[in-house]
Chains A and B, each alone.
Chain A
């Protein structure tokens, strides 16, 4: 296993190299060179000689490959340049915003794992002819849960997440006043948790519907298999049949979905952070775009790429934990 993780991590440098070429190309696609983005396209009051001297100093007259390797060299030293707007190093800006994004990501995953998967299990058990028969009234409301999950999944993929966030804000922050609409809370633990609820629900809504639906259909299939009947026949408690033989096998495709959705989750974070004024990396990126702050834009794209690769690595490791048949070595 450690070998596998190591091998996967070895893929990181070439990928980053590719991304760095892309970001470097992007900087040069932008109108003007870094000098003009810094001092304006038409630096008034600046002698032509001064401009030329600055260009030479910054190495802007060198051939592009030379410039690229210089850019790569500073990247390797962790230097992503300085923000054009605030003059602070980009790496500092990103580190300052990172905890907020991490918090949001963890809260969203927690919602998916603790709400969507149990909902999916519940609705599968409710309608499966093979599940250990629960008493009738429980079945009835569980069927309702089943219908609600399907509807939520359909709505989840049809709704713009930023609009869903605004609607939640309208209802829970403005009309009911239960939760804060923006920011990260008042510093207390309860305040921080309350501030997390709306952004996390907004970001996770679509994924929750999808995960609940996949869990349900997978579990339904697993419960109809022979090994589940055998487990029942050997007298295993129904609860354990469901958990160890049913849910565990049903979760593999769910983990795949989580991995596949990682990209859209990152993209969604950019939008959700903007809606809720959540001081994370996504918001940093959007603000940088509005200010044409190229070093910060490129830095955030790089960080998003690394995050994405790490998330997929995490998913692959999860596979081996759920299903011991899957080995990578």
Chain B
């Protein structure tokens, strides 16, 4: 009977295949585990944080790590900051902001980039030339510097920063997607769909985009990592998250005057940023190996 025979080829799909490859990569599994834990921490922040991250207590400012709290209140494992807020709680809440910022920046950049890349590759001609020259300029120019100036002028805030960061980082998506679309446009199944009378929009939706998914996902993974790094840098300069926001870059900036007194205040947020970005990069490396056809032998 067929059911009793071992099938010569185990059932497979692209995503099953990707999962098998990623699972074999020990560093990627580590990255996934860390990332999962971070998401859990971010979601469960109100329940696991020992204190309110925004509750100030000036009489208990800059307490050393491991200070026991007042009777009836939890202690401060990582001490308190210059306004007496619990450092550990702020660190926990910071994961929410960083993950959100990374995802939103990538969503903005991906939306602009994928749209322009698809149009450019699918329609070609003058549109393609125009969009690609724009991409060249955006990729070549030090737009982070310009972004800093823009945020400074329109007024520093988390929202402005996310929009500006997304607005300057879409170009690599456009270039990648265009390259893939150029090849897909010539495929027989696209021709077949067209012969059957499918509209451009339907062809793009059903035949083009699903095949771009791989490159976009890989690029987006690194985009989240870079977005978190850039956002923490801008917040450190005072251009992103504003006080009293519990954001890791802003916490580092606030901790700097107390480097001698309370080094842990400077160490902890940086470790948090590094671990987050490292975990995402590890997953991204593995996804690239599994999804990028150019690297397949």
Identify which of B142, B144, B155 gathers the most chain A CB atoms within 10 Å of its CB.
B142
- Name, among A29, A160, A174, A274, the residue most crowded by chain B CB atoms within 10 Å (CB to CB): A160
Report how far A324 CA is from B129 CA in the complex, Å.
Answer: 31
B33 in the interface (beta carbon within 8 A): no
Q: Does B176 contact A (CB under 8 A)?
A: no
A292 to B152, alpha carbons, bound, how many Å? 8
A162 touches B146 (CB 8 A): no
Task: Check B237 against A274 for contact (C-beta < 8 Å).
Answer: yes
Chain A's nearest CB lies how many Å from the CB of B260? 6
User: Which one of A23, A166, A294, A312 has the highest number of Cβ atoms from chain B below 10 Å of its Cβ?
Assistant: A166
Bound-state Cα–Cα, A31 to B236, Å: 24
Contacts of B229 in A (CB 8 A): 158, 160
- Beta-carbon contact of A157 and B266 below 8 Å: no
Residues of B contacting A22 with CB < 8 Å? 146
B256, A289: Cβ atoms closer than 8 Å: no
Q: Does any Cβ of B come within 8 Å of A26's Cβ? A: yes
- Please give, as numbers and ranges, the residues of chain A lying within 8 Å of B281 by CB-CB distance: 154, 157-158
With a cutoff of 8 Å between Cβ atoms, the chain B residues found around residue A31 in the complex are 155
List of B residues within 8 angstroms of A298 by Cβ = 149
Contacts of B110 in A (CB 8 A): none
User: Does A263 lie within 8 Å of B252, measured CB to CB?
Assistant: no
Number of interface residues of B (CB under 8 A): 38
Tell me if A304 and B145 are in contact (CB < 8 A).
yes
How near does chain A come to B13, taking the closest CB pair, in angstroms? 30
- CB-CB nearest in chain A for B273: A160
B234: nearest chain-A partner, CB-CB: A271
The complex places the Cα of A96 from the Cα of B203 at a distance, in Å, of 59
Residues facing B in A269-303 (CB within 8 A) are: 270-271, 274-275, 285-286, 289-290, 292, 294, 297-298, 301
Inter-chain contacts of A286 with B (CB < 8 A): 237
Tally of contact residues, A, Cβ under 8 A = 44
Bound CA–CA A140/B267 (angstroms)? 34
Within 8 A of A (CB), among B264-286: 266-267, 269-270, 273-274, 277-278, 281-282
Is B154 part of the contact surface with A, judged by Cβ < 8 Å? yes
State whether the Cβ of B184 lies closer than 8 Å to any Cβ in chain A. Answer: no
B259 contacts which chain A residues (CB < 8 A)? 166, 169-170, 174
Whether the pair A263, B144 counts as a contact (CB closer than 8 A) is yes
Q: Is A4 located at the chain interface by the 8 A CB criterion?
A: no
A27: min CB distance to chain B, Å:
8
Report yes or no: B149 in contact with A163, Cβ–Cβ below 8 A. Answer: no
Cβ-based interface call for A78 (8 A) = no
User: Measuring CB to CB, which residues of chain A are less than 8 angstroms from any residue of chain B?
Assistant: 22-23, 26-27, 29-31, 154-155, 157-164, 166-167, 169-170, 174, 262-264, 266-267, 270-271, 274-275, 285-286, 289-290, 292, 294, 297-298, 301, 304-305, 308, 312
Given contacts A158-B277, A292-B152, 18 further A-B contacts (CB under 8 A): A23-B149, A159-B270, A160-B232, A160-B270, A163-B269, A166-B266, A166-B270, A167-B266, A170-B266, A263-B141, A263-B142, A285-B145, A289-B237, A289-B239, A290-B238, A297-B152, A301-B146, A305-B145
